[in-house]
Structure 1
Amino acid sequence: MSGLARHAADLLGVPLAEARPMAGGDLSQCLHLRLEDGREAVAKTGPAPREEARMLAALAAAGAPAPAVLAVDETALVLECLPDTGAGPGAEADLGRVVARLHAAEGGRYGWPADYAFGPVVIANGWSDDWPAFWAERRLLCHAGHLPAPLIRRIETLARDLENRLPRRPRPALLHGDLWGGNVLYAGNRVSGLIDPACYHGHAEVDLAMLSLFGRPGPAFRETYGASEPGAAERAPIYKLWPALVHWRLFGDGYRGMVEGFLEMAGA
């Protein structure tokens, strides 16, 4: 039995019958647990388990499906095991409804009460009242020193022009923050859970851009989510640039082409 499995059982106060690795886990260890009382759970590590627990609570409070937190401490999180049987024909429409409900939850400013991380890549979430400045400083310029200087110069040029590219004060929607397909669980025609959040308050288009980074939801999603804001297509590569930069830093030069492609699409 792994150390994480033993620790999760101790946190729950229930003997463990079985633990097995789950798919994914590029940045954290994740186990499926079967407890001796018949229940199932998910145990995972992460950059800040207590902060992730607060983010999951925020998703649930907004009316989005999210796993309940069964136990948490500074090193591990134990979660409800949600159904994950695959997407049915009505699932994309339900995802549109779920994301719209999430984005209807509004904050007073842009950011989050604490910083977070994707592995070694810090996600700075300090509060701001200026959305273009938040995106420039906390999502783009923060990569200086970690990537080639010529590319950083292009990012700096783009960052200086964001006040002309992004709305200054969009509604500060509650964002999932890492809303790609792998972080959405389906059970038939419904979304059973949003997992692995990196929440903060910001422009809703950030989540929509992330959702189309490695695929694209069909028209049923847009029908239930709502119409695009004017200029969304021009802003999308600016918002996709951040996760592309994070992937390059985490996983290597294979993502350089993606980064350069979004810079070109953004005219930088």
Structure 2
Amino acid sequence: MTSFARKVANLLGVAEDRLERLAGGDLSEVLLLRRPDGRCTVAKGGAGIGTEAAMLRSLAGAGAPVPMVEGEHDGVLLLEHVENDELFSPLAWADIGAALRRLHERRGETYGWPVDHRLGTVELDNRQRSDWPGFWAEQRLVATASILDRPWRERVEAVARRMAELVPPDPPPAFLHGDLWSGNILVAGGKLAALIDPACYYGHGEVDLAMLTLFGSPPPEFWEAYGPLEPGWEERRPIYQLFPALVHLRLFGAGYAAMVERLLDQSSRNLSTTE
């Protein structure tokens, strides 16, 4: 067992062999405790557990289903275990679309979030500001590319300098999950059961949609339930997908270089059409 498992076992007063490692957990260790009464608790570790707990409570306050926070202790976040049958049926996708629309209709006054966060080792600069192109250019793309090799940095910076030509100046500041891919969506019985692992902030709602379509595409039932999209959203999608692609390049290595290259090329072509 790991040192984190020993910490969780001591915290919960159980033997280490009562803990099971859950699938996933690419960025932090995640353990499951099955209690004698049938209840289950999930334990997560990491430096940002307090921020994650606050984000989960904020999502719940906005009407999104999330695991209940059971406690925060010494670098351990304890969460309710939510059943997940992993069956992304058309009904489940419709429920996800409707829930995401409700979440995006919760608006903030500025872009960003009251505190910074992180995705693994990638720091997220969430300083609040009223300039959306500036936020996306500087606090998402340039900041994330800042420790990459010089050719990557220069290409990202070149696109970022013309961000005002690629994204709207002042979209409504929608409440974003911030890391919305299918692995962070739990479904059961044809419904959305919970959103997990948030990286919340206020921004353009298309950011969540871009992330959700980075590794696949939801079926028509999702889009029908989500409702109308803004004109030009498909042209904006590459610049919004570039951020999670850069995060993956930093966290998981050169296997994501081709994705970053493709999205930079698409964004550059979109710039050329505006000239």
Q: Verify same fold: TM over 0.5.
A: yes
* Structure 2 CA distance for aligned equivalents of residues 118 and 228 of structure 1: 28
Alpha-carbon offset, residue 249 of structure 1: 0.6
**1:111: which partner in 2?**
112
Instruction: Summarize deviations over 1:186-224 as a string: whole Å, max 9, x none.
Output: 102101000000001100000000000111101100100
**1:172: which partner in 2?**
173
1:71-220 matched pairs, under 5 angstroms: 71-87=71-87, 88-220=89-221
Q: Which runs of 4+ in 1 moved over 3 A?
A: 1-12, 14-17
Q: Which moved more, 1:215-224 or 1:65-74?
A: 65-74
Alpha-carbon offset, residue 153 of structure 1: 1.5
AA at the equivalent of 2:211:
M
Alpha-carbon offset, residue 66 of structure 1: 0.3
1:63-78 matched pairs, under 5 angstroms: 63-78=63-78
* Structure 2 CA distance for aligned equivalents of residues 224 and 144 of structure 1: 35
AA at the equivalent of 1:23:
A
TM-score (norm 2): 0.92
AA at the equivalent of 1:225:
Y
AA at the equivalent of 1:238:
I
Please tell me whether the aligned partners of residues 5 and 43 of structure 1 are also in contact (alpha carbons under 8 angstroms): no
Do the aligned partners of residues 144 and 262 (structure 1) sit closer, same or farther apart at CA in structure 2, a change above 3 Å counting?
closer
1:28 and 2:28 are equivalent in the alignment: yes
**2:53: which partner in 1?**
53
Please tell me whether the aligned partners of residues 244 and 258 of structure 1 are also in contact (alpha carbons under 8 angstroms): yes
Where 1:105 maps in the other structure, the secondary structure is: coil
* Identity fraction in percent: 50
* Structure 1 CA distance for aligned equivalents of residues 20 and 73 of structure 2: 21
Instruction: Summarize deviations over 1:152-181 as a string: whole Å, max 9, x none.
Output: 222111111111211111111110000001
**1:241: which partner in 2?**
242
Alpha-carbon offset, residue 149 of structure 1: 1.5
Please tell me whether the aligned partners of residues 11 and 71 of structure 1 are also in contact (alpha carbons under 8 angstroms): no
Please tell me whether the aligned partners of residues 90 and 222 of structure 2 are also in contact (alpha carbons under 8 angstroms): no
Please tell me whether the aligned partners of residues 132 and 166 of structure 1 are also in contact (alpha carbons under 8 angstroms): yes
